[in-house]
Amino acid sequence: MASTSFSSANRLCKQFDVFLNFRGEDTRGFTNNLCDAKVIFTFMDDYEIERGDEISPALRKAIEESKISVVVFSENYDASSTWCLNELVHILECKKNNGQTVMPVFYGIDPSVVQKQNGSYGIAFNKLEERFRDRIEKVHQWRAALTEVSNLRGWDSKNYWPECKLVQKVVEDILKELPKYRSSFEHSKKLLFGIEKNIKEVESRLSIGPKDVRIIGIWGMGGIGKTTLATIVFERLSDEFEGCCFLPNVREQQARHGLDHLRRKLLSNLLDDEDILRMDTLVGASSFILHRLRRKKVLIVLDDVDSSILLDALVRENHQLAPGSRIIVTSRNRQVLKGVSDDIYKVQRLNSFESFHLFCLHAFKSDPPAIDDQKMISEVIKREKIFKPRYSRCVENQL
The set of catalytic residues is: 87
* Measured CA distances, 31 to 54, 83, 324, 345 (Å): 23, 18, 35, 43
Q: For residue 258, how many other CB atoms are within 10 A of its CB?
A: 11
Angstrom CA distances, 349 to 192, 223, 225, 353, stand at 12, 11, 9, 12
Give the DSSP letter of residue 328.
E
| Closest by Cα among 335, 293, 347 to 315 | 293
How many whole angstroms separate alpha carbon 144 and alpha carbon 138? 10
Residue 302: which H helix or E strand, with range?
A: strand 298-302
Q: Report CA 339 to chain centroid distance, whole Å.
A: 30
Residue 230 near residue 330 (C-beta atoms within 8 A): yes
DSSP 227-272: HHHHHHHHHHHGGGSSEEEEE--HHHHHHHH-HHHHHHHHHHHHHT
What is the rounded CA–CA span in Å between residue 260 and residue 44? 18
**DSSP at 347:** P
Q: How far apart are CA 370 and CA 4, in angstroms?
A: 48
Residues composing the chain: 399
Collapse the DSSP code of 4 into the 3-class scheme (helix H, G, I; strand E, B; otherwise coil) and give the result: strand
Are the CB atoms for 195 and 229 separated by under 8 Å? Answer: yes
DSSP H or E stretch at residue 327: strand 326-331
Please give the backbone phi and psi of residue 13, each rounded to the nearest 5 degrees, phi first.
-65, -60
